[in-house]
Amino acid sequence: MRVSRLFLKEELKTGEVIQLADDSAHYLRSVLRLKIGSEIRVYNGSGGEFSAFLVEVSRKAIEIRVGEWFDKKIEPKLDITLALAITRGERMDIAVQKAVELGVTSIIPVITEYCAAPVRNQRMAKKERHWQKIAQGASEQSGRTVVPEVAEIVHFEQWLENEREALKLFFDPRAKQSLLELSMPEQRLILLSGPEGGFSDSEQVRAVQAGYQSVTLGPRILRAETACIAAITAAQLLWGDL
C-alpha cells in the first residue's frame, strides 16, 4: 500500500507533534479516511522526508507525530526552468502538474501575444496560488522532496530581460534543429513553451535576440500542454535521469 505524502511549511523534527492546517487535515480525514496510528510521510523542501503517524483524528483537528528522517535523494540533476505561456483552464493545470512530475526546478507563467486565456490583474494572484497548489500536489504524488516554485505571471518582454546563463530554447515546428543536435547544458536549461496559437513572428525574433534557439519537437503539431511535456521528457532522456 502506498504511503501518502504531505508537504508542510514548518520546521520538522523527530518527536514533534504538529496540528495540520485545514486543507491537509481535510485531505487526510475526508479523502483518505485515515485513522489514528496511520503512517504518512512529510517533507518541507529542505531535502529528505520524515515518517509521521496520526495521533489525533477528530472533526476539530488532526495531529501527527513526526518520526524517523529519511535521506531521500530523488531531485533531478538537470536544472530545468519552464517559461510557460498561459493556456486555457485545464490545459495549463495539466502542463504545470506534469512538468513538476518530470522534474522541473521552477515554472514561470508568461503572457504572450497569442495567449487564448486573458489574464486580468485582479485575478493574477488567484491563478498563481492555484498553480502553486497544483505543483504542491504533483510534488507530493511523485515523491519529490521539494515543491518547484510557480513564479509571478510576467509578460513575454519582461521574461526575455532575464539574463541568467543557460541553454535557452523555444519550440517551433519549422525549426531545423532538434534536441539531439544540441550539447548538454553547462548550467541550466530554460524551455520557453508557447500558447495554443504559438509564438508570433515578432516574438520569435525577440527570443532569438535574447539568446534563445528554436528547436523542433518532430514533424507533428503538438498541443501547447503536450509540447512542454514532450520537451521536458526528451531533455531528461538526453541529459537527465530518465
Q: What residue ranges do the domains of the chain occupy?
A: 5-70, 80-239
CATH among 3.40.1280.10, 3.40.50.1220, 3.40.50.300, 3.40.50.920 for 80-239: 3.40.1280.10
Grid cell, residue 207, equals: 527570443
Domains 5-70 and 80-239 share a fold: no
Grid cell, residue 189, equals: 536549461
C-alpha dihedral sign at 185, 170, 152, 203: positive
DSSP-H helix ranges across the chain: 22-26, 89-102, 121-142, 156-160, 201-209, 224-239
- Could you tell me if residue 15 is left (phi over 0), alpha (psi between -120 and 50 degrees) or otherwise beta? left
| 3-class secondary-structure state, position 45 | coil
Whole-structure pTM value: 0.91
What's the confidence (pLDDT) of residue 54? 94
What architecture (CATH level 2) is domain 5-70? Answer: Beta Barrel (2.40)
Tell whether the model's pLDDT for residue 24 goes beyond 90.
no
What's the confidence (pLDDT) of residue 102? 97
Q: Is 127 exposed, middle or buried (0-12, 13-18, 19+ CB in 10 A)?
A: middle
| 3-class secondary-structure state, position 154 | strand
Grid cell, residue 58, equals: 477528530
Band of pLDDT at residue 121, cut at 50, 70 and 90? low
Identify the residue whose cell numbers are 504538529: 18
Task: Write out pLDDT tens, residues 66-80.
Answer: 999 999 888 999 999
